Chain A
Amino acid sequence: MPRLTRWFIKSALLYFAVSMLAGVAVSAQGVMRLPPVVAALMPVYVHLFMVGWITQMIFGVAHWMFPRVAKESADRVQRLALVTYVTLNVGLLVRAVAEPAFALRPGPVWAGMLILSAGLQWISALAFVATAWPRVRER
């Protein structure tokens, strides 16, 4: 298993565990008094699960199992895969902090971080597709 795949999958497992805990916190609101920040965790819970766990797991396995590219393109694919990993995780972590913070105290700093997070995650999607598309081939 390539090193970057191990990073993707280990990070995905961490997000899986954290998103489940966030789900417990969101659900606990119905039965006990919790700080208002918990109410703002719903979109974070969904995205930690769908992006941090499911999507990142797919990235890792695809990086490992899809047919290989020619040797001359391998470095480029490796660099783009690293960009995918960094932008996805930084973007998601920024979102996890900024989204509840913005819901509680809207302001230009948190708004700017949300836009930064949107941009980083979008770049990660483009970088992943740029690496995966040429590898979707017969052999």
Chain B
Amino acid sequence: MPRLSRWFVRASLVYFVAGFTLGAVMLTLKAVTWPQAAGWLMTPHIEFLLIGWTVQLTMGVAFWILPRFDGGRSRGSAGAAWLAFALLNVGVILAASEPLFHGAGFTRLSGRAAEASAVAAFCLHAWPRIRAASAQKRER
């Protein structure tokens, strides 16, 4: 597994535990009929699990297993994928921290913008790697 995939996957595991911990706290608060206290945990719970865990894990595994160039020696524009990693994590933290700023829309907006930029950067990296096996064989 290449270094960037290890960063993506480890970060996704951290968000996974954080998201499940928040979920367990929310479910417990619901059971003790104090659900309103759990309300502000909902935003980070969803953000951590949907983007931080599933999207980030998918990107990490895709960077690892998509077809390579130069007979398997190159994964193409790794810079764009590293940029995606940085932007995605900044985005998740910003969007998830919105309740700390009393619902300030700017935090969520900037987080979403960073996440969207991360996706654009990742698509830029991954697009040329999605090709037929015959193209790989010709390179060899």
A residues with CB within 8 A of B: 50, 54-55, 58, 66-67, 95, 102, 106, 110-112, 114-115, 117-119, 121-122, 124-126, 128-129, 132-133, 136-139
Contact A118 B32, beta carbon cutoff 8 Å: no
- Which of B25, B31, B49 has the most chain A CB atoms inside 10 A of its CB? B31
Give bound CA distance, A35 to B119, whole Å: 42
Contact assessment for A129 and B6 in the assembled complex, using a CB-CB cutoff below 8 Å: no
Classify the interface of chain B: helix, strand, loop or mixed: helix
Residues of A within 8 A of B24 (CB): 118-119, 121-122
- B96 → A minimal CB distance (Å): 17
Interface contact A136-B10, CB-CB below 8 Å: yes
Give the interface of B toward A (CB within 8 A).
Answer: 1-3, 6, 9-10, 13, 16-17, 20-21, 23-25, 27-28, 30-33, 49-50, 54, 57
| Closest residue on chain B to residue A139 by CB atoms | B1
Q: A136-B9, A137-B6 are in contact. Are A118 and B33 (CB under 8 A)?
A: no
Task: Assess whether A133 is in contact with B27, with CB atoms less than 8 Å apart.
Answer: no
CB–CB B1/A122 < 8 A = no
Cβ of A102 to closest chain B Cβ, rounded Å = 7
Evaluate contact between A133 and B10: CB separation under 8 angstroms.
Answer: yes
| The one of B2, B16, B54 that contacts A129, using a Cβ cutoff of 8 Å | B16
Contacting pair A58 B13 (CB below 8 A) = no
**Contact A125–B17 (Cβ < 8 Å):** yes
Q: Decide: B54 and A132 in contact? CB cutoff 8 A.
A: no
Told that A122-B20, A124-B20, A136-B10 touch, could you supply 8 new A-B pairs with CB distance under 8 A?
Answer: A50-B49, A58-B54, A58-B57, A106-B33, A114-B27, A119-B24, A121-B24, A136-B9
Q: Looking across the interface, which residue of chain A has its beta carbon closest to that of B33?
A: A106
State how many angstroms separate the Cβ of B26 from the closest Cβ of chain A. 8
Q: B16: which A residues are within 8 A, CB to CB?
A: 125, 128-129
